[in-house]
A = this chain, B = another copy of it.
Amino acid sequence: MARTKDPAVRALLLERAAHMLRTRAPVTLRTLVAGTGVSTMAVYTYFGGMDGLWRALRQEGFSRLTARLAAVDTTADAVRDLAALGAAYLVNAVEGPDLYRIMFDAGFDLEDPGAADETLHTLVRTVERATADGRFATGTDPLELATQSWAVGHGLASLVTSGPLPPAALGHGVPMLTALFTAAGDEPDRCRDSVAQGWAGLRAAAP
């Protein structure tokens, strides 16, 4: 019926935008398309405008985060895995601070609102596994504990990437998660070990 869109162009613009964000170059309509050969109109045909580009970029951020969390391997120790997920979350944030910042900007409107839920769901499932293994009290609400773990991760990631806290502050994740999991019923010493192990698998989370 007519010319069809080239998905490669969309991917190129998205990749270039992410790169410019990483190198702290100002991402504007004209600077984005400069050098790519495509015209400014491409942004409108593929994203419907700059707002659409930012939305797609937020989506991209969640996709990368999801991939990061999926790369964390599952072991017999669910509490360890939970800590490993937390560490992976922080690594993702500090490696792409600008992309991470954008993910939580502008009223949080995404192309696919389920993307954030999926991230949270990974945590929920791991909490359920830990509870099934008898690590947490039987009455534990998985969504509640997962949300609290997320808040801890986001709090640290945000304060570090924003500037007020130095990168070393990410280490607070260990005692904080340990406190959270212990309060949920895990045996203190064992919990400390599990969290420490999961935290050590911090490098393994990088693809």
Contacts and interface: CB of A to CB of B under 8 A. Distances in A.
Contacts of A152: 151-152, 155, 176
A104 interface: yes
Interface in A50-82: none
A178 interface: yes
A43 interface: no
A163 B104 CA distance: 8
Contacts of A46: none
Interface in A160-189: 162-165, 169, 172, 175-176, 178-180, 182-183
Contacts of A116: 164
A193 interface: no
Contact of A179 (B104, B105, B165, B179): B179
A39 interface: no
A183 B179 contact: yes
A151 B162 CA distance: 12
A155 B178 CA distance: 17
Most buried by B among A105, A144, A158, A164: A164
A152 B175 CA distance: 12
A147 B148 CA distance: 17
A207 interface: no
A14 interface: no
A10 interface: no
Given A147-B169, A178-B183, A179-B179, A104 B155 contact: no
Q: What 6 A-B pairs are tightest by C-beta distance, nearest first?
A: A155-B155, A108-B163, A179-B183, A151-B155, A104-B162, A179-B179
10 contacts: A104-B162, A105-B162, A144-B172, A150-B159, A151-B169, A152-B152, A155-B155, A155-B156, A175-B183, A182-B182
Interface of A: 104-105, 107-109, 116, 144, 147-148, 150-156, 158-159, 162-165, 169, 172, 175-176, 178-180, 182-183
